[in-house]
Amino acid sequence: MTVQKKSAGVWQIAPPHPATPPRRRNAPRLPPDERRTQLLDAALRVVGRDGLAQLTMQSVAKEAGVAKPVLYALYPTAPELVAALLRREHARGMAQVLGAMPTDLRRADPDAEFIGAAMGFLEAVYADPMRWRLILVHADGAPSDYREVLTAARDQLLARCIELLAVGIRVRGGPEDADIELIGTAMLGFIEVLGRMVLSNRQQFPPERLRSTVRALLRTIPRASDSTAPVASEDSA
């Protein structure tokens, strides 16, 4: 409240100025790469909660705590946002798989390396179910070209598995005359099924519970009768 003298003997009492409403805080400015990470992390949380088909620009902006123009500045349309999310999660998933695979079986126990790689994959699925659901489970709302990316990446992964299997079978001493392509395809499909079991119920099918099943798969691939089969030399691999 203020009191002002207007003239001799005349005073005016003015009501207090209305409080200025607090200005809405904008999201802090971030470098573009950090902002993309923030937005894609928010999109992944939305997908994990609601499904890919229910992802909207509004839901992602709300989840990220930013105004929609901030989101539109980097991803002008929902399909572009979805494509960026799928590409990122697929690349990260493939890096996890390849990182768990052995690089050289010529001086190793192939069976132990296989178990280690399989368990590494299952533990990655267990740790990042939202990511792996986008890779291992058909995702409604995914663009058709993403399915082509998945197919191409799986073909490359299968080729790597067959390459390692050829060396591993030679090192472990059998089986002779093995159809390596058939065995590799079956083994990869088997491990993918176990991954989907983890996704279906992480409490019921934790990776450690599946370890014995992974070992059982190896028992279907016989070794040579001579358990002391020599290890392949570097020149022969």
The enclosing domain of 56 has a CATH number of 1.10.10.60
The closest alpha carbon to 51, from 122, 140, 111, belongs to 140
Predicted pLDDT at 176 = 79
Which 3-state string (H, E, C) describes 20-77?
A: CCCCCCCCCCCCHHHHHHHHHHHHHHHHHHHCHHHCCHHHHHHHHCCCHHHHHHHCCC
The closest alpha carbon to 163, from 180, 148, 186, belongs to 180
Q: In angstroms, how far is the first alpha carbon of the chain from the final one? A: 92
- The structure tokens listed for 229 are 């089969």
Number of domains in the chain: 2
Residues 122 and 154 in one domain: yes
Taking the C-alpha atoms of residue 56 and residue 32, their distance in angstroms, rounded to an integer, is: 21
Predicted pLDDT at 85 = 94
Residues 50 and 134 in one domain: no
Predicted pLDDT at 89 = 94
In a domain, 134, yes or no: yes
Predicted pLDDT at 178 = 86
Predicted pLDDT at 18 = 54
Predicted pLDDT at 38 = 96
pTM to 2 decimal places? 0.75
Residues 145 and 70 in one domain: no
Boundary-marking domain end, from 76, 106, 135: 76
Residues 69 and 36 in one domain: yes
Q: What percentage of the chain has pLDDT greater than the value 70?
A: 81
Boundary-marking domain end, from 17, 46, 76: 76
Q: Which residues, given as ranges, of the chain have pLDDT below 50?
A: 1, 23-24, 226-237
Domain that holds residue 196: 78-219
Predicted pLDDT at 231 = 43
CATH of the domain at 197: 1.10.357.10
Predicted pLDDT at 20 = 52
Residue 164: exposure state from Cβ atoms within 10 A (0-12, 13-18, ≥19): buried
Residues 203 and 93 in one domain: yes
Residues 94 and 41 in one domain: no
Predicted pLDDT at 147 = 84
